[in-house]
Chains A and B, each alone.
Chain A
Amino acid sequence: MALKFLVVDDSVTMRRIVSNSLKNLGYDNLVEAVDGKDALAKLAADENINFVITDWNMPILSGLELTKAIRGDEKLGAVPILMVTTRGVKEDILEALQAKVNNYIVKPFTPQILKEKIDQILANN
């Protein structure tokens, strides 16, 4: 099944950078969302989305809340989630893992790290 990414970030700059990086890695099939609530709406509207890359700090619905919402949803529960955030504190990483993100990237990220984490997630799923 072809990969379709959902890039979730309230920063327009970060959405473009993550999207450009995905395109550079050969993943052209992607959609963007401005916060967790928007992301849930996009997921509900498009069954082909099968990979979520999300920021943590976002208004309305944070990345952590989005992760919990996805994991709590019967249909979406298994969608891989990669968190890309500035939050580099140990407790935050543990909290994200408890919410069941598949992997974690601390901003600023490099393309190598992004590729490595996507590959790891795909290999484990």
Chain B
Amino acid sequence: MGKAPNNMSGLFEKLHDLKSLFKYGEKIVPIIQSLVDFMQDTVPLLENINHSIADSTAKIPAASNQINNVTSATELATTEILDLVDALSMNFDKVETKVNLAKQKDIEKAALLEELQKEIKKNSKASELLSKYMEMKDSEAALNFVGDLLPKFKDDTYHITLSLQVQDITAQQLAAVNHLIDSVQERLSSLIQDIDSTEIKELTVGKIQAPDGVAFDPNAKYSKSKDLQNMADVIVNNANTSNNNNNKASQDEIDKLFS
């Protein structure tokens, strides 16, 4: 019998706790309700984000392919320019040969004319006409003018060729961008699949088709500055000197050269 009051008191305590819980529940229910409302509003938003990411990801292969197309097109165009420059150079060589030949012929003609002048001295009219002809003969100057310009033309066309190195360098830069795009696509695909375990169709059909065996320098740049070549020269010279002294250059020694 002695336990009955204890049990009752325990019961009242539990009821009190329960009452507190209900009171707390009354307070928390609106919060939970607003949380549910928020979730209901948010889920479509998350779905939208998910679909947007999926759409964007699906478009990445197109961008990547476009970059590959640009690389192929510039390589083709560069080859065409190189073909034209080669043809120009060959034509310049032919013109140069002809000009030199014509100059040689002019020297021979001049000698013949001098001989002729001596022969027709007695014929004053013929001598006068020949003198006039020789005064009017300006092909030598023209040939010299063209002959002097030809090496410059050849040099200029060769420099066009050298400038086309930019194609190789930009191709490497574009390959680096493609590699970056590929990495972004992989990350986004992984993110989408984490959010939605079902595989998104576009991601499987739109996989980036990177060209086989592309090798590139991500830091490739087209610069006319001689700084990099000068640095290479210093390192090579230093290495050669060290090798000659049978003493390998340390990294510190090399670093000192550039400090």
**Which of B162, B228, B231, B236 meets A103, CB within 8 Å?**
B236
B240 CB to closest chain A CB (Å) equals: 8
Taking a contact as CB atoms under 8 Å apart, the answer to whether B82 and A21 are in contact is: no
B109 at the A interface (CB under 8 A): no
Taking a contact as CB atoms under 8 Å apart, the answer to whether B162 and A108 are in contact is: yes
Given contacts A16-B82, A57-B215, A59-B212, contact A90 B171 (CB under 8 A): no
Taking a contact as CB atoms under 8 Å apart, the answer to whether B217 and A87 are in contact is: yes
B20 at the A interface (CB under 8 A): no
Taking a contact as CB atoms under 8 Å apart, the answer to whether B158 and A94 are in contact is: no
Q: Which applies to chain B's interface (DSSP): helix, strand, loop or mixed?
A: helix
Given contacts A10-B215, A108-B169, contact A86 B158 (CB under 8 A): no
Q: Mark A17-31, 1 if CB is under 8 A from B, else 0.
A: 100110010000000
Taking a contact as CB atoms under 8 Å apart, the answer to whether B232 and A105 are in contact is: yes
Binds B, one of A45-53, A69-77, A109-117: A109-117
Taking a contact as CB atoms under 8 Å apart, the answer to whether B229 and A17 are in contact is: no
Chain B residues lying within 8 Å of A106, measured Cβ to Cβ, are: 228-229, 232
A13 to B77, CA, bound (A): 10
**Which of B75, B163, B172 meets A12, CB within 8 Å?**
B75
Taking a contact as CB atoms under 8 Å apart, the answer to whether B82 and A13 are in contact is: yes
B: number of interface residues (CB 8 Å)? 40
A58 CB to closest chain B CB (Å) equals: 5
- Of all chain B residues, the one with the shortest Cβ separation from A85 is B217
A21 CB to closest chain B CB (Å) equals: 7
Taking a contact as CB atoms under 8 Å apart, the answer to whether A58 and B215 are in contact is: yes
**Which of B165, B215, B232 meets A14, CB within 8 Å?**
B165
Given contacts A57-B215, A87-B219, A90-B258, contact A108 B224 (CB under 8 A): yes
Given contacts A10-B215, A90-B231, A104-B236, contact A24 B165 (CB under 8 A): no
- Of all chain A residues, the one with the shortest Cβ separation from B82 is A16
A107 CB to closest chain B CB (Å) equals: 6
A: number of interface residues (CB 8 Å)? 38
A13 to B167, CA, bound (A): 7
* Most chain B CB atoms below 10 A, which of A60, A106, A109: A106
B161 at the A interface (CB under 8 A): yes
Taking a contact as CB atoms under 8 Å apart, the answer to whether B162 and A88 are in contact is: no
Chain B residues lying within 8 Å of A111, measured Cβ to Cβ, are: 158, 162
* Most chain A CB atoms below 10 A, which of B164, B165, B214: B165
Chain A residues lying within 8 Å of B216, measured Cβ to Cβ, are: 57
A10 to B167, CA, bound (A): 13
A37 CB to closest chain B CB (Å) equals: 10
- Of all chain A residues, the one with the shortest Cβ separation from B154 is A24
Taking a contact as CB atoms under 8 Å apart, the answer to whether A20 and B161 are in contact is: yes
Taking a contact as CB atoms under 8 Å apart, the answer to whether A109 and B165 are in contact is: yes
- Of all chain B residues, the one with the shortest Cβ separation from A9 is B168
- Of all chain A residues, the one with the shortest Cβ separation from B83 is A16
Q: A13-B78, A86-B168, A94-B235 are in contact. List 19 more A-B contacts (CB 8 A).
A: A13-B79, A13-B164, A13-B165, A13-B168, A16-B161, A20-B86, A20-B161, A24-B158, A57-B217, A58-B215, A59-B213, A59-B215, A86-B172, A87-B217, A94-B251, A104-B236, A107-B169, A108-B163, A108-B166
Chain B residues within 8 Å of A, Cβ to Cβ: 75, 78-79, 82, 86, 158, 161-169, 171-172, 212-217, 219-224, 228-229, 231-232, 235-236, 239-240, 251, 254, 258
